Amino acid sequence: MLEFVPLALIAIVLFSWAIDYINGFHDTANAIATVVSTGVMPIKYAIVMAATLNFTGALMGTSVATTIAKGLADSSHMVPAVIIAALLAAILWDLLTWWFGIPSSTSHTLMGGLTGAVIAHAGVHALKWAKLREIGAFIVISPLLGFIVAAILIITILWIVRRMRVQKVNFAFRKLQLLSAGAMAFTHGQNDAQKAMGVICLGLITYGFLPPGAGNVPVPLWVKIGSAIMMGAGTAGGGMKIIKTLGHKIAKLKPIHGFAAETAAAIVLFTTAHFGIPVSTTHSISGAIMGVGTSMNASAVRWGLAGNIFMAWILTIPVSALLAMGFYEAIVFAAPSLKVNPHVTHVKVVAPSQIPAQPMPGR
């Protein structure tokens, strides 16, 4: 089966793993920002823990991968140029937002990239708008859920421990926050690594190495392990700029607040991964931190910074879509063959007048 592997497919795999690696160090903060900022764990140990659990979570489930591979557009429109353009757009936007320390969403960068590249290739009618509307709705729903669940959780916890000594509460939640940070790291791997798996499977479907039919994508073991390794390696690379933004700049947190924020975000991510909805871990944990901060005191949240983060969220899909359109045009200009689906059998249509006459059968 692998006697001949097209160069474009190799590029799709490598670019997918590149976005997986970038996602790892870009989104390391999602799991460990609060556990580092509250002083529960030194950053080097927190990164090792997050990398290990990201790797483990990446091996669990394929629902999100199926949505990426089959849920956004008909597979006949997912030509190599579309997939490569989407990946290049996602890589560029992720690196830009990481450079400026803005917690953006790799998930929605990929969604925007695929959407823009498909439109450039086949027009808006080629998209599956019902699934796109669902994903778009969760740009608002996932941080809102994180906000609400975290606010309810911290208020409940504070009521339960209201008669306990502060020192005892801090000691208990320093330990509990290790569990919540671990859960967050696991669900991050489960949710985000599947996106790279889905794009690789999309390439494998395009080249006929996987079936294009309905149902869950049979993700090959080498795709799972490779994506898990790259996610874990990226996480081990760290992401101090984002860690500082999430852990220190949005709101000042104590262990009890960090536990509530991480637990709330992990609940949201586990639920959405189960239903195959590609949501942003960044959106979920950012919303949860804001929910915890608001429950303490609305003025405890630095709303100016929060506004900048919201603006980045709003811009992510349209900007990445426009970037992907540009990359698509450049790719098909340089290599026109990449705008053709290599797995479609082309049938020559012959006019009736060109069909040779056949002798009538004898009576």
Q: What is the mean pLDDT of each run of 10 residues along the chain (363 residues)?
A: 72 93 74 72 81 83 70 80 94 85 76 92 88 78 90 93 88 88 84 83 87 74 89 72 51 78 89 77 81 74 65 83 96 91 50 48 49
Residue 346 is classified by DSSP as P
**Contacting residues for 172 by C-beta, under 8 A, at least 6 apart:** none
How would you write 50-91 as a 3-class SS string? HHHHHHHHHCCCCHHHHHHHHCCECHHHCCHHHHHHHHHHHH
pLDDT reported for residue 150: 92
Q: Tokens 């999430």: give the residue.
A: 246
pLDDT reported for residue 340: 84
pLDDT reported for residue 29: 62
Q: Rounding to the nearest 10 degrees, give the CA dihedral for residues 162, 164, 170, 176.
A: -80
Closest to 188 (Cα-Cα) out of 278, 75, 126, 304: 278
Residue 177 lies in a domain: yes
- The number of beta carbons lying within 10 Å of the beta carbon of residue 275 is 11
Residue 2 lies in a domain: no
Q: How far apart are CA 220 and CA 2, in angstroms?
A: 13
Q: Tokens 């994506």: give the residue.
A: 227
pLDDT reported for residue 238: 61
Asked if residues 89 and 225 have their Cβ atoms less than 8 Å apart, the reply is no
pLDDT reported for residue 354: 47
88 is in which domain, residue-wise?
A: 7-334
Closest to 23 (Cα-Cα) out of 188, 206, 223, 142: 188
**Contacting residues for 247 by C-beta, under 8 A, at least 6 apart:** 29, 33, 34, 36, 37, 253
pTM of the model: 0.77
Query: How many structural domains are present in the chain?
Result: 1
Residue 64 lies in a domain: yes
Task: Tell me the HSE value of 61 on the side-chain side, using a 13 A CA sphere.
Answer: 26
Asked if residues 254 and 35 have their Cβ atoms less than 8 Å apart, the reply is no
Residue 154 lies in a domain: yes
* DSSP H or E segment with residue 297: none
Asked if residues 223 and 12 have their Cβ atoms less than 8 Å apart, the reply is no
Structural tokens at position 132: 């796109």
Q: Is residue 212 helix, strand or coil?
A: coil
Cα angle 136-141-144, degrees, rounded to a multiple of 5: 145
**Contacting residues for 88 by C-beta, under 8 A, at least 6 apart:** 15, 113, 323, 324, 327
Residue 252 is classified by DSSP as -
Residue 56 lies in a domain: yes
Residue 340 lies in a domain: no
pLDDT reported for residue 46: 81
Q: Is residue 127 helix, strand or coil?
A: strand
* DSSP H or E segment with residue 355: none
Residue 245 is classified by DSSP as I
Q: How far apart are CA 254 and CA 15, in angstroms?
A: 39
Cα angle 199-135-67, degrees, rounded to a multiple of 5: 35
Q: What is the largest CA-CA distance in the chain?
A: 106
Q: How far apart are CA 22 and CA 164, in angstroms?
A: 43
Residue 348 lies in a domain: no
Burial 237-266 (b: 16+ CB within 10 A, else e): ebbebbbebbbebbbebbbbbbbbbbbbbb
